[in-house]
Structure 1
Amino acid sequence: MKLLLAVYQEAITKSRKDLRGPHVLRVEHITQIRRIAKDLEIVVTSQEKDAKRHIQDADIIAGFPMTIPPLGNAVNLKWIHSFSAGMDRVLTPEIVNSSVLCSNSSGIHKTPIAEHVIGFMLIFTRGFLKTIANQQKCLWQKDESITELFGKTVLIIGLGNIGSEVARLSHAFGAHIHAISQEIREPLDFIKMVKKPSAMNRMLPKADFVISCLPYTKETHHFFDLEKFKLMKPSAIFINIGRGGLVHEKDLITGVKRKIIAGVALDVTEIEPLPRTSPLWKMPNVIITPHQSGLSEKYMDRAIERFCMNLGAFLADQPLPNMVDKKQGY
Structure 2
Amino acid sequence: MSYDIIKSLKIKQDRRIIMTKKKILTVVPMSDTYKEKLKEVSEGCEIMYSTYEDVSREMVQEANIIIGNVPAWMIGMSKNLELLQLNSSGTDAYMGVNILNDRTIMTSATGAYGKAVGEHLFAMLMSIQKKLHVYRDNQNRCDWSDEGQVLSLTGNTVLIAGLGNIGLSFAKMMKGLDSYVIGIKRRKSECPEGVDELHTMEELDELLPKADVVVSILPNTPVTRGIFGEDQFKKMKKNAVFLNAGRGNAVDTEALCNALIRGEIYAAGLDVTDPEPLPQEHRLWNIKNAVITPHISGDFHLPQTLDFIADIAVENVRRYLSGEELLHVVDFQTGYCK
Aligned mates of 1:238, 1:47 — CA distance in 2: 33
Query: What is the percent sequence identity of the aligned residues?
Result: 29
Alpha-carbon shift at residue 174 of structure 1 (Å): 1.2
Any conservation in 2 of the 1:211–1:238 contact (CA below 8 Å)?
Answer: yes
Aligned mates of 2:33, 2:308 — CA distance in 1: 13
1:307 counterpart SS class? helix
Q: What corresponds to 1:79 in structure 2? A: 83
- Please say if 1:311 is aligned against 2:317: yes
Structure label with greater radius of gyration: 2
31-40 or 48-57, which deviates more: 48-57
Any conservation in 2 of the 1:151–1:176 contact (CA below 8 Å)?
Answer: yes
Q: What corresponds to 1:301 in structure 2? A: 307
2:80 counterpart SS class? coil
2:74 counterpart SS class? coil
Where in structure 2 are the equivalents of 1:104-253 lying within 5 Å? 104-141=108-145, 144-253=148-257
Which of 268, 273, 276 is the matching residue for 2:272? 268
Q: Which amino acid aligns with 2:98?
A: E
Q: Which amino acid aligns with 1:56?
A: Q
- Please say if 1:321 is aligned against 2:327: yes
- Residues 47-87 of structure 1 show CA distances to partners (whole Å, capped at 9, x for unaligned) of 6675311223211112125x455223622111111101111
2:75 counterpart SS class? coil
- Distance verdict in 2 for CA 1:192–1:50, change over 3 Å: closer
Q: Which has the higher helix share?
A: 2
Any conservation in 2 of the 1:104–1:322 contact (CA below 8 Å)?
Answer: yes
Any conservation in 2 of the 1:241–1:266 contact (CA below 8 Å)?
Answer: yes
- Residues 119-173 of structure 1 show CA distances to partners (whole Å, capped at 9, x for unaligned) of 1111122221233233334455555512322111111011111111111111111
Aligned mates of 2:100, 2:197 — CA distance in 1: 35
Aligned mates of 2:291, 2:242 — CA distance in 1: 10
Any conservation in 2 of the 1:158–1:180 contact (CA below 8 Å)?
Answer: yes
- Residues 71-109 of structure 1 show CA distances to partners (whole Å, capped at 9, x for unaligned) of 236221111111011111112223566121010101000
- Please say if 1:94 is aligned against 2:98: yes
- Distance verdict in 2 for CA 1:59–1:152, change over 3 Å: same
Give the structure-2-normalised TM-score. 0.87
Q: Which amino acid aligns with 1:103?
A: T
Q: What corresponds to 1:10 in structure 2? A: none
Alpha-carbon shift at residue 249 of structure 1 (Å): 1.1
Would you say how many aligned residue pairs link Structure 1 and Structure 2? 313
Aligned mates of 1:217, 1:273 — CA distance in 2: 19
Aligned mates of 1:302, 1:117 — CA distance in 2: 19
Q: What corresponds to 2:107 in structure 1? A: 103
Any conservation in 2 of the 1:55–1:69 contact (CA below 8 Å)?
Answer: no
Q: What corresponds to 1:5 in structure 2? A: 26
Aligned mates of 1:96, 1:297 — CA distance in 2: 30
Aligned mates of 1:167, 1:281 — CA distance in 2: 28
Alpha-carbon shift at residue 110 of structure 1 (Å): 0.2
Any conservation in 2 of the 1:36–1:308 contact (CA below 8 Å)?
Answer: yes
1:94 counterpart SS class? coil
Q: What corresponds to 1:12 in structure 2? A: none
Q: Which amino acid aligns with 2:333?
A: K
Q: What corresponds to 1:37 in structure 2? A: 42
Runs of 5+ unmatched residues, structure 2: 1-21
Aligned mates of 2:156, 2:213 — CA distance in 1: 8
Any conservation in 1 of the 2:73–2:99 contact (CA below 8 Å)?
Answer: no
140-149 or 50-59, which deviates more: 140-149
Any conservation in 2 of the 1:55–1:71 contact (CA below 8 Å)?
Answer: yes
Aligned mates of 2:224, 2:168 — CA distance in 1: 19
Any conservation in 2 of the 1:180–1:196 contact (CA below 8 Å)?
Answer: yes
- Residues 210-236 of structure 1 show CA distances to partners (whole Å, capped at 9, x for unaligned) of 000111111111111111111111111
Any conservation in 1 of the 2:205–2:235 contact (CA below 8 Å)?
Answer: yes
Q: Which amino acid aligns with 1:325?
A: D
42-51 or 86-95, which deviates more: 42-51
Where in structure 2 are the equivalents of 1:274-289 lying within 5 Å? 274-289=278-293
1:106 counterpart SS class? coil
Runs of 5+ unmatched residues, structure 1: 8-23
Superposition RMSD in Å = 1.9
